[in-house]
Chain A
């Protein structure tokens, strides 16, 4: 009898397995609706041609909804509120965590684990995807690393004060002192500062990326410590040292006195007009842009990208924007397979997302780009080159959506990637330095307490940091003020994060 039951069960299992594949097979969607910001090719820049090429490669109809870049999240929120959610949307880290938390996003953990991209052997930044997991689950896909800032220092100024690039805080302090007092621009006037930033603390995560030498291991917002416990970094001992360094830097004139009211453009101008010699800004393309700014102002343009100071844990790699599938999508597996899993396919689709459409954004034809101008460049037949920007004449494209330098996957072996021929060396150097010395920023999940109190708490913290840095308050006075006003809110938020 037992044998008979076993036999029947075995036959049933075989039959069920024979039936299963048909239901488990991913169905190809007929149409995919995507909601995108201005980081994807815009209409004036050839979106129609991009859409046609994508449809040709995939055999799927693509509907693109692209609100104005600056109003993207306002429009997206309205779309979400309306209940008519797109299949796919681009989300910044804050929206990603919050939407995942509220059940707006489809859980793609299993799909990713079994994806062609993950198992292709071409991934170069797989830790970026791991960093996107919330409580071990993945709700979004990043095609490139988030990127971040490195510190640039003027070689000419170092030479002028006869010093080497600093590697420790003490050396950094000595260089700053020399940049303020030893006339590094050799104009005979004491009119220079070491560095400048747009505020003592940034307005968005990871907050401290514009003054990393001063903050080092301190982080004034919420993060998970090594034990996986959420803490408020503002209350940690490392903040004391950070605020004292800021105070030293400001009172000794190393940090530009107008830091509190600076915008990032003001800081770039101060670098290019020789007011400052050290500037922490984005790695990659910006290395070239800063160099060009200095050249345009007739200054020596050599910038050294500094590794983190000894003992400092490294630069923050921002949580990158992600492609997420909405939880109301009718065929999320199909959308994942045919949209997200093809984005870094190592071939034509990856080329399309990285470099755009042939003879629209780039070309191999023999031609002169921007003829009749001082920027005219002539290319021979068969040489890859970007074409003149359709929306901004006088400039050329540098990429499509995916940055070739920070892309998360290599092209397939044997597939031509023009990156080495078109990306400038300082761009690659700063990107490599950043990649070698960066750490992933935290994704902070949203809680009710966070929504209720973090606005007031952040205003309080930023004010105290500024006042200590400017010498209007001591660290102890600031912490006494924090205990009185903000400790309660901080505890409530920390407890809510640890209870999740």
Chain B
């Protein structure tokens, strides 16, 4: 039985240690100042969510009234459920597509072809959402100039162009497709990195044992990728309340019932009221969003500990 006792050097007192590492502490000062000024001090703004505040006059304490109003507004709950629905479906679809694309890329033997394909699929990620929206408005236009509708009409599938982005029934589908186009390529990077790390010896052994491509993918590649897929899902789940730009640029009056999310709701409360916005109310919405985001993050952290044996925070 091994009864070796591990040696633990005696720690020096704090002050001498600080003196020893003074240079590092000095270098840390700007980071600390940045964190305090831009991350911690703004947290005092939470105070405004309990006030009525129009910037001109001093804030008036109203207690929980902003939250009462918030929870009584049907549009708020619609925005909340849209946020969850759009984010979760988008996350699952984008991650799924990224995995499939990574597996396909991994099967490519021609190194130049593989790199070219990777470069092409990464490009959409660098296109701003405003440009992406303009491009897809053209592609999905309900006129004969719209690529999709002109194909559908020429094939005789439809008589009249479908207004994909102007109808609640089709908007969500179009939104997911556009998001997959925009984000899938970029999402493959992390999966490709994992795939590259798999020991080729395992594939060789499997080949000797008579495994074909499909079996190698199913019994070697997928299990190796599983941990990364879960990690990506967990990390992104914590960010699902931050949906704004991709929705905002594709939104229009006819699809607000399916496209209004919490961030756009705050935007319209601020700029569409015709009066001076009540910043207390919009701060309350922001606080609620942050609390939901934090809760999700804690759940993810718990899930991560269970699945991976370590947390994400």
When each residue 272-298 of chain B gets 1 if its CB lies under 8 Å from chain A and 0 otherwise, what string results? 111111100100000000000000000
When each residue 244-265 of chain A gets 1 if its CB lies under 8 Å from chain B and 0 otherwise, what string results? 0000000000000110110000
Q: Which listed residue (A448, A452, A463) contacts B257, Cβ 8 A?
A: A463
CB contacts (< 8 Å) of A460 on chain B: these are 75
Minimum distance in angstroms from A192 CB to a CB of chain B: 11
In chain B, positions 49-65 with a C-beta closer than 8 Å to chain A are: 54-57
Given contacts A446-B274, A451-B276, contact A257 B143 (CB under 8 A): yes
Surface stretch bound by B, among A44-52, A53-61, A114-122, A465-473: A465-473
Evaluate contact between B55 and A455: CB separation under 8 angstroms: no
Given contacts A191-B144, A261-B137, A456-B75, contact A200 B274 (CB under 8 A): no
Given contacts A459-B268, A463-B256, contact A446 B275 (CB under 8 A): yes
A201 close to chain B: CB less than 8 A: yes
CB contacts (< 8 Å) of B252 on chain A: these are 199, 260-261, 466
CB contacts (< 8 Å) of A466 on chain B: these are 166, 252-254
Q: Which listed residue (B55, B144, B260, B281) contacts A452, Cβ 8 A?
A: B281
CB contacts (< 8 Å) of A81 on chain B: these are 55-56
CB contacts (< 8 Å) of A472 on chain B: these are 167, 254
A40 close to chain B: CB less than 8 A: no
Q: Which listed residue (A450, A462, A465) contacts B274, Cβ 8 A?
A: A450
Surface stretch bound by B, among A98-106, A301-309, A429-437: A98-106
Evaluate contact between A77 and B273: CB separation under 8 angstroms: no
**Chain A residue, CB-CB nearest to B269:** A455
Evaluate contact between B55 and A465: CB separation under 8 angstroms: no
A447 close to chain B: CB less than 8 A: yes
In chain A, positions 192-223 with a C-beta closer than 8 Å to chain B are: 199-201, 205, 221-222
CB contacts (< 8 Å) of B274 on chain A: these are 94, 205, 221-222, 444, 446, 450, 454, 458
Evaluate contact between B143 and A200: CB separation under 8 angstroms: no
Evaluate contact between A454 and B273: CB separation under 8 angstroms: yes
Q: Which listed residue (B161, B253, B276, B277) contacts A199, Cβ 8 A?
A: B253
Q: Which listed residue (A199, A222, A260, A446) contacts B163, Cβ 8 A?
A: A260
Evaluate contact between A261 and B69: CB separation under 8 angstroms: no
4 A-B pairs besides A466-B254, A472-B167 with CB distance below 8 A are A258-B163, A456-B75, A458-B272, A459-B272
Interface residues of chain B, those whose CB is within 8 Å of chain A, are 54-57, 69, 73-75, 137, 141-144, 161, 163, 165-167, 252-254, 256-257, 260, 268-270, 272-278, 281
The 9 closest A-B pairs by CB, nearest first: A446-B275, A466-B254, A450-B275, A451-B275, A466-B253, A462-B253, A455-B269, A260-B166, A455-B273
Interface residues of chain A, those whose CB is within 8 Å of chain B, are 77, 80-81, 94, 98-99, 102-104, 191, 199-201, 205, 221-222, 257-258, 260-261, 444, 446-448, 450-452, 454-456, 458-460, 462-463, 465-467, 470, 472, 485
